[in-house]
Amino acid sequence: MIKRILFFNGGFELDQNNNKLPDLWETVWRNGSSTVSSVSRQGYDPIGGAYHLRMYNGTGDSKSFVYGRLKYILLSNGKIVSLNYDKNGSLLKKETL
């Protein structure tokens, strides 16, 4: 089971699998037809801590957006919900842990 400290990773500090995306913020996708879009955890100009999440929508489509979603949500009643998405960001499965 994942420790509670990882649930939000709001400072984007943790990247235990070294994929250059903050842990639990790895569900990312874009819409539109832009090129060279990217999402990555960066160590320059952080607001707090050592990292920030850079979401770049690319070039060639000014209406294109990049999205990110959290994999786990801690509810106010203390329960944890796991969310799984497809490559377009559509929810495939929601499970209470």
**Residue 68's beta-bridge partner residues?**
28
Q: Which residue has the higher pLDDT, 77 or 21?
A: 21
Long-range contact list for 22-25, CB < 8 A, 24+ apart? 22/51, 22/53, 24/70, 24/71, 24/72, 25/53, 25/68, 25/69, 25/70, 25/71
| Mean pLDDT rounded to a whole number for the chain | 80
Q: Give the predicted TM-score (pTM) of the model.
A: 0.62
For residue 26, give Cα distances in angstroms to 14, 15, 61: 11, 10, 23
User: Does residue 1 surpass a pLDDT of 50?
Assistant: no
User: Does residue 7 surpass a pLDDT of 60?
Assistant: no
